[in-house]
């Protein structure tokens, strides 16, 4: 009977003998759960609702339309594509005051370097940006990549 009492007590308490190696009693029935400092789930955010204008300054026909379609498919609010007033050698993404983050997101979506993002000034080769808050001035670097991808994906 005494043995049954001891076994029952041990099972209920979950402890036979405290561990004395550290000088403190260990209680193996206590479970500690730690949460990671950084969440392990990944969230995706939709592009901000910022009007974006694609301007072809590459000399490659249809480049602005291709970029407009690509960004629109990704969820950006696109204005009708236009031709730039002059050609450029590399693509730049310009932003109006307060829209640097949106311009950086557009550049990232187009796989452009961070150095391609700059504040909009009247020196950008676009005669009028209308209500656009981000302007993509497309150079041959992006135009050749975009039109090649579009052409190869639609060829039968």
The answer to the question of residue 14 being in a domain is no
CA dist., res. 47 & res. 102, Å (int): 8
Tell me whether residue 35 is in a domain.
Answer: no
Mean pLDDT is highest, among 10-14, 98-102, 146-150, for 98-102
CA atoms within 13 A of residue 87's CA, in its CB half-sphere: 10
Q: What is the pLDDT of residues 112-130, one digit of tens each?
A: 999 999 999 988 999 899 9
Assess if residue 141 is contained within a domain.
yes
Report pLDDT digits (tens) over 83-106: 999 999 999 999 999 999 999 999
Tokens (6 digits) for 142: 């992006």
For 28-69, the DSSP string reads TT-------SS-------PPPS-EEEEEE-SS-TTHHHHHHH
- Split into its structural domains, the chain has a count of 1
> Is 90 exposed, middle or buried (CB count within 10 Å of its CB: 0-12, 13-18, 19+)?
middle
Q: Is residue 30 part of a domain?
A: no
- What domain range includes position 150? 51-154
Confidence check: pLDDT of 137 > 90: yes
Q: b/e string for 65-74 if b means 16 or more Cβ within 10 A? A: bbbbbbbeee
How far from chain centre, in Å, is Cα 104? 9
CA distance 29 to 14: 6
**Does some domain include residue 24?**
no
| Position 30 confidence tier, pLDDT thresholds 50, 70, 90 | low
Residue 103 lies in a domain: yes
Bridge partners, 104 (sequence order): none
**29: in domain:** no
Determine the 3-state secondary structure of 15 from DSSP.
coil
Positive or negative torsion for Cα 96, 101, 107, 112: positive
Question: What span, in angstroms and rounded, lies between the C-alpha atoms of 120 and 56?
Answer: 16
* CATH number, domain with residue 66: 3.30.70
Confidence of residue 146 (pLDDT cuts 50, 70, 90): confident
24 pLDDT above the threshold of 60: no
């Amino acid at each position: 009977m005494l043995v049954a009492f001891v076994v029952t007590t041990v099972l209920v308490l979950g402890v036979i003998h405290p561990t004395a190696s550290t000088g403190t009693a260990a209680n193996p029935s206590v479970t500690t759960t730690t949460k990671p400092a950084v969440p392990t789930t990944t969230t995706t955010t939709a592009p901000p609702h910022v009007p974006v204008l694609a301007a072809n300054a590459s000399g490659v026909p249809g480049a602005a339309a291709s970029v407009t379609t690509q960004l629109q498919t990704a969820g950006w609010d696109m204005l009708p594509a236009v031709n730039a007033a002059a050609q450029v050698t590399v693509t730049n993404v310009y932003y109006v005051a307060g829209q640097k983050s949106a311009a950086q997101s557009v550049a990232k979506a187009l796989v452009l370097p961070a150095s391609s993002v700059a504040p909009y000034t009247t020196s950008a080769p676009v005669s009028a940006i209308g209500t656009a808050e981000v302007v993509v001035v497309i150079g041959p670097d992006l135009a050749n990549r975009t039109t090649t991808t579009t052409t190869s994906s639609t060829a039968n």
